[in-house]
Amino acid sequence: MPDLKTFIDENRGNFVESLKELLRIPSVSTDSRHKEDVKTAADWVASRFQELNFETKVIPTKGHPIVYAESPPVPGKPVALVYGHYDVQPPEPLDLWVTPPFDPTERDGNIVARGATDDKGQMLTHVFGATAWMKSVGELPIQVKFLIEGEEEIGSANLAPFIEENKELLANDVVVISDSSQFGPGQPAITYGLKGIAYFELKLVGPNRDLHSGSFGGSVRNPANALCAMLSTLIDEHGWIHIPGFYDDVKPMTGDERENFAELPFDEEKFKEQLGIDDVHGEEGYTTLERRWARPTLDINGLTSGYQGEGAKTVLPSEASAKFSCRLVPDQCPHKIGKALREHLEKVCPSGIKMEFKEHHGSPGFVVATDSPYIKAASSAIQQGFGAAPVLIREGGSIPIVANFAQQLGSDVLLLGWGLDDDNTHSPNEKFNLADFQRGITASAQLWAELAKIDK
């Protein structure tokens, strides 16, 4: 039997081929046309665990299936639960992909495909970290449970009840999640905070059909004009959000935390250059990292109305709609904000317009203590996998179920992101660096050894 390290080195090509197999399955959870593909991805993930003779189940839900697997118990040692997701965001706009989104392609040391980093590639580092132990040592040094779901990108609505009903099955000391990023190339990180989210949709309906904008404009309320006016009441030029009570529960940043952020080697000029912008923008009085990681925000995610085809069409549209969301920080409550927002929008909705408001998914922000033995174990594993000590960061993305692990199961949580900020998550040409894929597999394998040093 090869040793752990040799096994990981020798199987580099196999890991990549296996990742490509999963990336070829278009498991877009939000799109019902892909329901069967999502199921195929669940079965593919389950097969990896079955090959290791782990107890494995594919559990149907009202939405997409949950894959659960576990290695044998190791008494006296901590139990880890790896959480990840095999679903992906829609690949559109397709014409901006250099190669098709579900035809994984190696370019410049990266694998390019939808889901490469978010989260198929990152999630598989833990599957292959466990595979390395099973194929080289024959067992894992601690029990590792795997909970891999297919609805993360649509808010994980069916996972919370599953956790509630299966507390014993899922019992663990620490949840391990790789679905975030490093601080930068060559600088790995442990993330101790994520934002929550509250996602909304507003539809305004005016006249009962599209109208000639010359014959009717100026005499009938235009829903597109009304939508712009209503949305502009929500956030101002200072980056301050005007939903009543929005900041009431925001936990302010501590001076220490602001100092820690300021000490990180963040290059704002490079940030602007990478994004092709001539200025940064956000809430007045906060730095870019503070805005991105620790302050609540509001962004329009999509706007639809009227004519967008080639050339010009003089139309007064009958309808206009917007999808928009707030990213939240502890201790803001998504439902409380949704309620206040609805009341505000009803107040500012003008005459001549019917308004429909919908709250989509919501989840709270999350921070974990940074002084746990698990963070120490993870730092050491990352040092071994990536050859550098991790820095502690927060991030602006959301993993809707993350707070539930702490609340429902009392778990500690380790967010060990192997991605990079420029991975194009949710965007065309999503990528994952293949060296980081390999380093992540090593770090994962080492993590089980480091956690085994913690006696229970």
Binding site for ligand BES (CB under 6 A): 118-119, 152-153, 155, 179-181, 194, 197, 361, 395, 397-400
Q: Are 303 and 322 in contact (CB under 8 A)?
A: yes
Give residue number: closest CB to ligand BES: 397
| Alpha-carbon gap, residue 440 to 291, rounded angstroms | 28
How is residue 349 written in tokens? 């909705």
Of the two residues 30 and 50, which places its CB atom closer to Zn ion in the complex?
30
Would you call 363 helix, strand, or coil by DSSP? strand
Pick the closest to residue 394 from 216, 195, 229 (CA basis). 195
Of the two residues 45 and 79, which places its CB atom closer to ligand BES in the complex?
45
H-helix or E-strand spanning residue 338: helix 334-348
399 binds, among ligand BES, Zn ion, none (CB under 5 to 8 A by kind): ligand BES
| Alpha-carbon gap, residue 290 to 261, rounded angstroms | 7
Of the two residues 70 and 119, which places its CB atom closer to ligand BES in the complex?
119
CB of 7 to ligand BES, least distance (A): 28
CB of 173 to ligand BES, least distance (A): 23
What are the distances in angstroms from CA 310 to CA 223, 306, 316, 334? 22, 12, 17, 39
Q: Are 188 and 182 in contact (CB under 8 A)?
A: yes
121 binds, among ligand BES, Zn ion, none (CB under 5 to 8 A by kind): none
Of the two residues 58 and 197, which places its CB atom closer to Zn ion in the complex?
197
Say whether 201 is catalytic.
no
| Alpha-carbon gap, residue 60 to 67, rounded angstroms | 9
| Alpha-carbon gap, residue 441 to 447, rounded angstroms | 10
CB of 396 to Zn ion, least distance (A): 12
Of the two residues 23 and 132, which places its CB atom closer to ligand BES in the complex?
23
How is residue 238 written in tokens? 């200072």
Say whether 278 is catalytic.
no
- Of the listed 118, 119, 151, 152, which one is catalytic? 152
CB of 426 to Zn ion, least distance (A): 6
Residue 69 corresponds to which amino acid?
A: A
| Residues binding Zn ion (CB under 5 A) | 118
400 binds, among Zn ion, ligand BES, none (CB under 5 to 8 A by kind): ligand BES
Please list the helix, strand and coil fractions of the chain in percent, rounded to the nearest 5, in that order: 35, 25, 40
- Of the listed 37, 70, 87, 153, which one is catalytic? 87
CB of 361 to ligand BES, least distance (A): 5
The residues assigned a catalytic role are 87, 152
